[in-house]
Amino acid sequence: MTEGVPPHLSSRIRDRLERAGLLEPAGTERELRQSISDLNHRLRYALGEYEEPPEPSTVP
């Protein structure tokens, strides 16, 4: 089906998360996925999907 996120988009997301302090510089692909997952859950909390701020859940 899909082969994942195109490298140019992944690089832009990585750069932005690093500038925002949400990802350490030179972080691994797993750390990038973790940062995106955490951001996703914080946004869902902000939208009212969760009663409490979510705890980070580990990505594979």
Neighbours of 14 (CB within 10 A): 19
Beta-strand (E) ranges in 1-60?
A: none
pLDDT tens by residue, 3-56: 788 999 989 999 999 999 999 998 999 999 999 999 999 999 999 999 999 888
The model's pTM: 0.79
Dihedral, CA atoms, 21, 27, 29, 34, nearest 10 degrees? -40
Taking 70 as the threshold, does the pLDDT of residue 2 lie above it? no
